[in-house]
Structure 1
Amino acid sequence: MICDEQEVNFYLGTHREQWLTTAPEDVCLFVSHRVLSARKTLPKAPLGRHYAVDSGAFTELSLHGEFRTTPEQYIQALARYDEEIGDIAWAAPQDWMCEPFMLERTGLTIAEHQHRTVDNFVRLATLWEENEAPGDCPVMPVIQGWEIDDYLRCVDLYEQEGVRLAQDYPVVGVGSVCRRQSTPEIGRIFRELAMLDLPLHGFGVKTAGLARYGRWLTSADSMAWSYQGRRTPTLCGSSSHKNEANCMTFALAWRDRLLTKPTKTGLDQPPLVDDAELAAITAGHALTVCDQRQTASTTCTNTLPAVPPKRPNRRETADHADPTVSDRKQTPTSRPPTQENQ
């Protein structure tokens, strides 16, 4: 299985777009479309910056019970980020979550949410090609459901549309898991999907989630550090913020601790980070750029060892390809056909 061939590629979630230029180069970032779309001027990321874009689907559906952002608008925005910031590694689609409270919000069924998720993915891929945007479409598929059989049916829906999840995509997201990560059911869902040899991505992973199902992942993202930081008084020595919710020093310390813990050894691992350990790490962590309110004259270095993650990249050339990742996962080999061209 692909999850046995590579370590988890971890994306640090942030709602500070400036981190695309200021974060250490080996840190993969996960930034929301809702953050980037509000900016008239986007940061230009340094060459080699690896970042992915979240569609903000959870927030949009939670607020409105529908998407106010059209697929056309989303694709235009992704093309802009790709051009102005730098190559997007991948982007999430406008998928429809299947949590019970979300179904109540939309008034629709799990089956309808799944059909809309698959239809949106196919539509976005078609729009990218119609707009003649450079390179392959960065949008990656997401499997939605609630119980195991739901997720397997969603896989079937993709296959019916000609979308070859295992063969053509380096990232396949698994949705509707964020709020139940510590349950045994989640471990079983990821295990069943991993048995299909899918390169699974866990959205909004908590430490309990990694302990429960990290064995089956090839990538994950998290902003759990920010939630923890809201409850943590400033530890880094900065006078510009009262807590660590937006502190890069705090976020990098949290990430460093996370990456030193095994995620492939089984499902019964202890919590990866607790408050006492994180406070000790942050206190010994050399001051970096804490947030964008600090002056440019502040200079700092990260004294903890960097752990470069594996980087699936849809635009890698033979000179830069990762030899540890099989060719069939390295780059999408074809776009999914639409009903018009099937």
Structure 2
Amino acid sequence: MPTAPTKAAGLADGSSSATPWPRRSEHPDPARRMTFYLGIPPSAMPRVDVPTCVSVSALLRCGDRLPRAKAPYLLDSGAYTMLRDHGGWTMFVEEYAATVYRLIDGLGHPPTAVAIPDWMCEPWIIHGGLHRGHHYVGTDLDVPIHQALTTGAYVHLNNEHTGVPWMPILQGHRLHDYLDHIHQYARAGVDLTRAPLVGLGSVCARQGTAEIAAIVAAVRAAGIDRLHGFGVKTTGLHLYGPHLRSVDSYAWSKGARLRLPDCTHPGPCNNCIRYALAWREHVLDALRHPHQTSLPLDFRNPTNPNVADTKHTTDTPRDRKA
């Protein structure tokens, strides 16, 4: 079992090294057979040299002071928080497209993919109520309608705004829901087997279960083998990581209860980019050791105490969460 990482990596000043990110399916290093997008707050984008994931909603809070992206990035829609707090989307699809255009222009270079304004299908999203300490407004719709709204958003955006790398997203709750959604896309003229990347939605809360592993296998059996997993953490990567093209995760922020050596900020590292980068290395290392089942982040015995300090941020990076 590998030991927990004790240094940050992937800082823009070159002070430390990170696992290289260009993926290749046949690469001898299992950690380089997929792209891992590290969920970060917008303020960290100019300082991070590894692929990142940042949400549209978080970027909107920057106003006119958008950061310049240093590395490849994936734009997440922030749909989970949107539906949790409002019971639906508060902007039309065309408004979302205009927002994405403005953000891309401000960030300096195009993203590798942009999540559409999709509609998750978890029961608490649909029916509302209290779940894991959060209140959900509820959409009062059902899974097929959520799927139809998701499909419609992709079809409109892909047809009307062809210059953006829109990522279609499969939604559902049970396995048959996802297969039904594939057929729904097909009836709308969308062949998901030809899409550069297809998101697998509504998996965050169940990402480490055999149920999601079965869904991944069934979707791949349908010919869709370029899958992106939203919010997939280490337990999910152990189960089906080799079958995904890419994943993103903000889980480091929730789990950061300790401090990296030499961090100058007060309190724990739950908003510390140095911690996030160290956590990324630990997750990628776990892919090389499939029997590892936890992330015992113990930074009490640093092997490299000379890592350059990185500004502590109080931004909240977790917009798509479970």
TM-score range, shorter chain: 0.7 to 0.9
Distance, in Å, in 2 between the alignment partners of 1:228 and 1:91 is: 26
1:121 aligns with 2:154: yes
Question: Could you tell me which of 180, 187, 201 is aligned with 2:228?
Answer: 201
- Work out the CA distance in 2 between the residues paired with 1:288 and 1:218: 32
Could you tell me how far apart the structure 1 residues matched to 2:189 and 2:306 are? Answer: 49
Contact preservation (8 Å) 1:61, 1:102:
yes
Percent identity among equivalent residues? 34
Alignment pair present for 1:150 and 2:172: no
Out of 262, 265, 276, which is 1:251 matched to? 276
Gapped regions of structure 2 (runs ≥ 5): 1-22, 28-32, 128-137, 315-322
The alignment status of 1:88 with 2:111, answered yes or no, reads: yes
- Aligned-pair CA distance for 1:262: 2.5
Q: 1:319 aligns to what?
A: none
Q: Is the CA contact (8 Å cut-off) linking 2:185 and 2:191 kept in structure 1? A: yes
Conserved? CA contact 1:250–1:282, under 8 Å: no
Q: Distance in 2 between matches of 1:221 and 1:35?
A: 16
Rate the CA distance shift 1:142–1:282 in 2: closer, same or farther, 3 A: farther
Q: Could you tell me how far apart the structure 1 residues matched to 2:157 and 2:303 are?
A: 41
Cα distance change of structure 1 residues 283 and 208 upon mapping to structure 2, 3 Å threshold: farther
Is 1:77 aligned with 2:99? Answer: yes
Cα distance in structure 2, aligned partners of 1:55 and 1:281:
37
Q: TM-score, normalised by structure 1?
A: 0.74
Structure 1 residues 279 and 60: alpha-carbon distance in aligned structure 2, compared to 1, 3 A threshold: farther
Query: In 2, Cα distance between the equivalents of 1:255 and 1:63?
Result: 29
Match of 2:308 among 274, 278, 287: 287
Go from structure 1 to structure 2 and tell me whether the alpha carbon gap of 1:282 and 1:9 turns closer, same or farther (over 3 Å shift): farther
Q: 1:21 aligns to what?
A: 46
Offset at residue 273 of structure 1 (A): 2.3
What CA distance in whole angstroms lies between the structure 1 residues aligned with 2:82 and 2:54? 15
Give distance in 2, aligned partners of 1:139 and 1:146.
Answer: 23
Q: How does 1:183-332 map to 2 (within 5 A)?
A: 183-195=209-221, 196-229=223-256, 231-232=257-258, 234-262=259-287, 269-271=291-293, 273-276=295-298, 280=301, 286-292=307-313
> What CA distance in whole angstroms lies between the structure 1 residues aligned with 2:214 and 2:253?
28
Cα pair distance change 1:292/1:109, threshold 3 Å: closer
Give the structure 2 partner of residue 302 of structure 1: none
8 Å contact 1:81–1:88 — kept in the other structure? no
What amino acid sits opposite 1:44 in the alignment? Answer: R
Q: By how many angstroms is 1:122 displaced?
A: 1.1
Query: Does 1:175 pair with 2:208?
Result: no
Amino acid at match of 2:292: P
Helix, strand or coil for the counterpart of 1:261?
Answer: helix
User: Aligned partners of 1:116, 1:172: CA distance in 2, in Å?
Assistant: 16
- On the 8 A contact 1:249/1:285 being kept in 2, the answer is no
Looking at structure 2, the residues matched to 184 and 201 of structure 1 have their Cα atoms a distance apart, in angstroms, of: 17
Corresponding position: 1:55 with 2:65: no
For residues 281 and 177 of structure 1, the distance between their equivalents in structure 2, rounded to whole angstroms, comes to 35
Change (3 A) 1:271 1:71: same
How far is the alpha carbon of 1:84 from its aligned partner? 1.7
Task: Normalising by structure 2, report the TM-score.
Answer: 0.79
Bigger relative contact order, structure 1 or 2 (CA pairs below 8 A, ≥6 apart): 2
SS at structure 2 position matched to 1:106: coil
Q: CA deviation at 1:19?
A: 1.7
* Distance change (3 Å), C-alpha of 1:241 and 1:145: same
Residues 112 and 165 of structure 2 are in contact (CA less than 8 Å); yes or no, is this contact kept in structure 1? yes
Structure 1 residue 272 displacement after superposition: 5.3
Q: Structure 1's 71 and 262: CA in aligned 2 closer, same or farther, altered over 3 A?
A: same
Q: Which residue, 32, 57, 64 being the options, matches 1:34?
A: 57
Distance 1:94 1:228 in 2: 27
- CA distance in structure 2 between the partners assigned to 1:30 and 1:224 by the alignment: 12
Aligned with residue 69 of structure 2, among 21, 36, 45 = 45
- Aligned-residue CA RMSD in angstroms? 2.3
> Runs in 1 of length 4+ with deviation above 3 angstroms?
2-6, 278-285
